[in-house]
Amino acid sequence: MNKIILNSNEVPKQYYNINADLPKSLPEFKDSEEGGNLEKLAQIFSKEILKQETSKKRYIKIPKTVRELYQAIGRPTPLFRAKNLEKKLNTPAKIYFKREDTTPTGSHKINSAIPQAHYAKKEGIERLTTETGAGQWGTALSLACTMLKLDCTVYMVKSSFKQKSTRKTLIELYGGTILASPSTKTEYGRKILNKNPEHSGSLGIAISEAIEDALSDEKAYYSLGSLLNHVLLHQTIIGQELKKQLEIVDETPDTMIACVGGGSNFGGSCFPLIKDKLDGKNDCEFIAAEPASCPTLTQGEYRYDYGDTAGLTPKLKMYTLGKDFIPPTLHAGGLRYHGISPQLALLVKEGYIQTRAVLQEEIFQSGKLFAQTEGILAAPESCHAIKIAIDEAKKAKETNTEKTIVFNLSGHGNLDLKGYSDYMAGTLIPNSK
């Protein structure tokens, strides 16, 4: 069976909260006299989001309205087997991939955008502000806000804003307002530009601007696309669907892979199956793939740090390259964040998740092979997972070992042709070492 689908009524009815099953208690947010404080969270997030952020309930009910909107955007998403890729690699391994690229906005991001907009709407909020790297989150939140009749302001990392002009068009088509970050709209953006008018931006800076914007408007909340517990919680609908689909074809994964920027894609697809490992029900290997030029997990320190550059957030315990880290302007804009989800970081620290860093040249090479065998153009972010899946399939060939490899295809690359074009022309800047 090459394509495994579920009926629309099989959209999960609850989110899975890994906080209930972590091997150690998650370190709490830390207040700081230097800037970030817990009181700001209550000003920028809805009550339900804050409740979910700290909840230790194993399962949290998905509101009926949210579930109906999930069905409207085409959930559950399909699971495919990459038989042509297997044949090309001549491997005894089976390779499956979950297709989050089939959503209207082309990625997994809308899975959290919808509930965040829903909860804000219920509290009488009229506008959401946010950041975006590659543009997938900004696109998703713009559509979710339009669906729920909210305004949306998106601060997009300037290097990505310049690389991906079509993202601006798409975000505006979905009803969002987009600004290149650092921008002149916020005090912090102007401060950065005064020091360096050509600043390429970072997700940390864009987060600072979006939070400042929300704090200045009593009818606005801030919405985050990754990192925090509630975002990964919403994304677990991916892994819950995936478990059902693997059961249909009687498969138990030996290796699961997903790319990581802040952690929403990895946590969403893997946490429901990591639960089984924590319960002793499987011995699956979980691999987080990140860019070598932004090596948060492979080279970062496990310590408390701010989630944004200005220090407006409380401090989180996570792997971090430092809040002031400015990554190279690589094409995988969604993976250019200095930190990582505290939940994911804890599981890496405790040895439940392996980490791999991938060079930019290698991800486009893998994306090209995947396009030529499976006919799907993957986002550069997703190509990190594809690269590791190919590596694992080659290892299986070398040892003549039958195994089942599963990865999450977090988004399509239809708006990332500039990166592919540079790779094909041999002009890709080797900025990933």
Which domains are seen in the chain, by residue range? 74-106+233-425 (3.40.50.1100)
Q: In this structure, how many other beta carbons lie within 10 angstroms of the beta carbon of residue 191?
A: 12
Nearest to 361 by CA among 285, 420, 401, 320: 420
Q: Are 13 and 67 in contact (CB under 8 A)?
A: yes
> Tens-digit pLDDT profile for the chain (433 aa)?
899 999 999 999 999 999 999 999 999 888 765 555 567 788 899 999 999 999 999 999 999 999 999 999 999 999 999 999 999 999 999 999 999 999 999 999 999 999 999 999 999 999 999 999 888 999 999 999 999 999 999 999 998 898 888 889 999 999 999 999 999 999 999 999 999 999 999 888 999 999 999 999 999 999 999 999 999 999 999 999 999 999 999 999 999 999 999 999 999 999 999 999 999 999 999 999 999 999 999 999 999 999 888 888 889 999 999 999 887 766 665 677 899 999 999 999 999 999 999 999 999 999 999 999 999 999 999 999 999 999 999 999 999 999 999 999 999 999 889 889 999 999 887 654 4
Length of the chain: 433
Question: Which 3 state secondary structure label does DSSP give 279?
Answer: coil
Rounded Cα distance between 246 and 79, Å, is: 8
Q: Tell whether the torsion through CA atoms of 396, 297, 133 and 138 is positive or negative.
A: positive
In the chain, the amino acid numbered 148 is L
Rounded Cα distance between 167 and 161, Å, is: 8
In the chain, the amino acid numbered 104 is P
State pTM to two decimals. 0.94
Owner of token pair 């089976």: 94
In the chain, the amino acid numbered 28 is E
